[in-house]
Structure 1
């Protein structure tokens, strides 16, 4: 009884603590973290994780970086998409991956660990996120960081817009602007830079997917995409129209938590 009361007191004190202290506590008790060092002057952590050779960097609270780390690395939310690629295709080497909406580069790191011989185009427009992305992917020659916004049309420029949902670092939006400082890049342009096919195309661009999948936009990139994994933001009522486009292009669709995975059956037929 006394033990339970003391435990309750400790838990209540923890809940009342600052977000920074709670993050420190979470890192100390995590079974995934071997070592966590806070760089106070830069307000970020250097983390050594089990099963990863190179360190990770995340910002201290109130940043959402730890939440991204938990989802992408600890919970491996993109593992199903990777397995879908392996089970349905015979991916060559190098595997071409696009990480659109790369945030601080953790998903790119996950893909690089999962497919060591891949070439990964890591797109993140927001300057502070991109700065952290460079820290996380700097030792990886196969990850190509691009401070660009995914665009429906070539030649567009973008500015950072209002954040979505909780306003956290992972909810940054872009808006088209002739005075914008961020260049856009289309998926067809990315295709022409690489092998001509996307083995895995990941899109999490905070609602801007509605522009990529507008009916009048060229979506021929889908014909050269083997596996698509996308987070669809239902605030914009676009899920049914995206599903319609994918099915017309021969994709089988499955849902996994916040993610939608599309498998291009036409390309399976070509490989069989």
Structure 2
């Protein structure tokens, strides 16, 4: 299978259907959206040139071009594997991803936008344990491991196809990465996963899946897959299973399930040094989450990108 079940029928060979975004103002023209793609491509190229050597910069700029052309003309939806070398934080890696919009989007976020680049060591003297909740195909884990090459990295990811990619990225590189196939939730047991071939948006939160798959302007609609049961674990259970008494860096990108977790018991936060979390504000309320973090002695740090970073006061 190389694409979602409805992609051939619902996505024409040439389309600008996916140029517009949910946050765009009403009446935003296609031309304005195209200009934005061009502007973002230019920014990606600048970042590539400023952060990487010539070969890596050209390689990443090329994949950025493929992404923006895909969003502007015809989305890439292949499951075919691509592996590229990237040197980040003076660490050489082999980075595997699928030739589709979702994986290339994550490639851009992690290695060009640097959304997980943060001076963690200024807040945690020695980063020994990193936990990645919603690890997707492992690109964030690779980036964090490159920043802290002596750290142990625990990854949690519920989507079978993503776990297989994560295992490939682990095998290609020499980092201490361990993988648990599960969803993380406030309570353990079994939950329903709503997977999607826009792989990074698979979720266990029904209202998130419904909003995305019901929107004809989002790729999730033609790429939706059948819901399936998955194991759910708590952060406490993960810590116990791996014998972890301190989480120096916790990354959380779990597509709306963060609201449920942050509304439950927060004892696990006592063992966390830095939490970098994407709060999916379009679907969940951010204020209760931020208040919960503040109640446990955290404050928000200045950071770029879609994630909030919380550090101890």
TM (normalized to structure 1)?
0.74
Q: 2:84 aligns with which of 42, 47, 53?
A: 47
Deviation string, structure 1 residues 147-196 (Cα, Å, up to 9, x no partner) = 11112113x11232165xxx7211111259xx964211111122222331
CA distance in 1 between partners of 2:288 and 2:282 (Å) = 14
Secondary structure at 2:310 match in 1: strand
CA distance in 2 between partners of 1:55 and 1:90 (Å) = 28
- Counterpart of 1:3? none
Change in CA separation of 1:101 and 1:58 when aligned onto 2, cut-off 3 Å: same
- Counterpart of 1:60? 99
| Bigger-Rg structure (1/2) | 1
Alignment of 1:130-149 (within 5 A): 130-138=163-171, 139-140=173-174, 142-149=176-183
Runs of 4+ in structure 1 deviating by more than 4 angstroms, as ranges, are: 26-30
Deviation string, structure 1 residues 219-262 (Cα, Å, up to 9, x no partner) = 10111111000000112342000111111111111353311111
Secondary structure at 2:311 match in 1: strand
CA contact (8 A) 2:124 2:274 kept: no
TM (normalized to structure 2)?
0.65
Deviation string, structure 1 residues 41-76 (Cα, Å, up to 9, x no partner) = 961211112344331111113x41111011112222
- Counterpart of 1:110? 143
Deviation at 1:32, TM superposition (A): 5.6
CA contact (8 A) 1:47 1:55 kept: yes
- Counterpart of 1:268? none
Alignment of 1:214-225 (within 5 A): 214=263, 217-225=264-272
Change in CA separation of 1:74 and 1:146 when aligned onto 2, cut-off 3 Å: same
Q: 2:159 aligns with which of 106, 126, 132?
A: 126
Which structure has more RCO (C-alpha within 8 Å, separation ≥ 6)?
2
Secondary structure at 2:179 match in 1: strand
CA distance in 2 between partners of 1:109 and 1:29 (Å) = 19
Which runs of 5 or more residues in structure 1 are unaligned?
Answer: 1-14, 20-25, 266-272
Deviation string, structure 1 residues 97-143 (Cα, Å, up to 9, x no partner) = 11001110000001111111111111111111111111111244510
1:251 partnered with 2:270: no
CA contact (8 A) 1:45 1:60 kept: yes
CA distance in 2 between partners of 1:42 and 1:252 (Å) = 40
